[in-house]
Structure 1
């Protein structure tokens, strides 16, 4: 039987990811087949045109999809496949990555993720959409929080 994740344990898993800690990623919602990650779009995460680097969007979509899949499959997951479509430059104060499980089986889950930027006024702009397949593994991560 797989271990069930709750918001507290999911946040510990996020805190155990050195790259997520480096980016300052926050898990703001988790459960019922969904997860939302947010991170502030500081200068170090932008490209030469002043929008979020595509690698940052890819990370945010893939990681949010993994957390959404974790609500269905438990904590031991790896990404089996992933695609992203960039719709417009990601400019704003915050990047929000909202992933939802589309279908979950015994060992795999397919998730969709919408990436939006939030402006200083709170207005949301859709900048990318992604889809990923996550596969369950036999081992669950040991969520040991890391400090920056």
Structure 2
């Protein structure tokens, strides 16, 4: 069975932790997936930055959705690593994952985690009409395995 955007949205909605965080699927298909969540005060750590656990969750889930776009809906994370590049702050977190290589049972994916300072639609709409391209705060790589 192919994993469509609509089915992927239902899968995300069936994850209680994703619902708790308010995660949204904003792009899906062709071996890629993008998840977004609004950065709230209750998701920050003691220094006022987005907690690393939230970044890890977003990377893990985006990687698995991207892998599912290539392998089908019955997949699990096989493992992943994350590198934190700078403190994550802003109003929106975006996790953009893509499949680098997929076989019949396993996909290797990368994920870029970006924060946006402005509007929660992912673009900082400035007075001059320019948009914020986001701040890269972490990168991740992982494998996704089919359960068949």
TM-score by length of 1: 0.90
Gaps in structure 2 of 5+ consecutive residues: 119-123, 125-130
Distance 1:17 1:85 in 2: 25
Aligned positions, number: 136
Listed as ranges, the matches of 1:80-119 within 5 Å are 80-119=78-117
Cα deviation, residue 78, structure 1? 1.1
Correspondence for 1:64: 62
Correspondences of 1:42-57 after superposition (within 5 Å): 42-57=40-55
Summarize deviations over 1:18-67 as a string: whole Å, max 9, x none.
Answer: 00000000000000011000000001110011111000000000100000
Uncovered stretches (5+) of structure 1, i.e. residues with no partner: 139-148
> Structure 2 length as normaliser, TM-score?
0.90
Measure the CA separation in 2 of the matches of 1:69 and 1:17: 17
Among candidates 19, 27, 33, match of residue 17 of structure 2? 19
Poorly superposed stretches of 4+, deviation over 4 Å: none
Helix, strand or coil: the match of 2:49? Answer: coil
Higher relative contact order (CA 8 A, sep 6+): 1
Question: How far, CA to CA, are the matches of 1:39 and 1:55 in structure 2?
Answer: 13
Tell me the secondary structure at the aligned position of residue 91 of structure 1: coil
Q: What's the C-alpha RMSD, in Å, of the aligned pairs?
A: 0.7
Residue 7 of structure 2 aligns to a residue whose secondary structure is: helix
Whole-Å separation in 1 of the counterparts to 2:28 and 2:99: 12
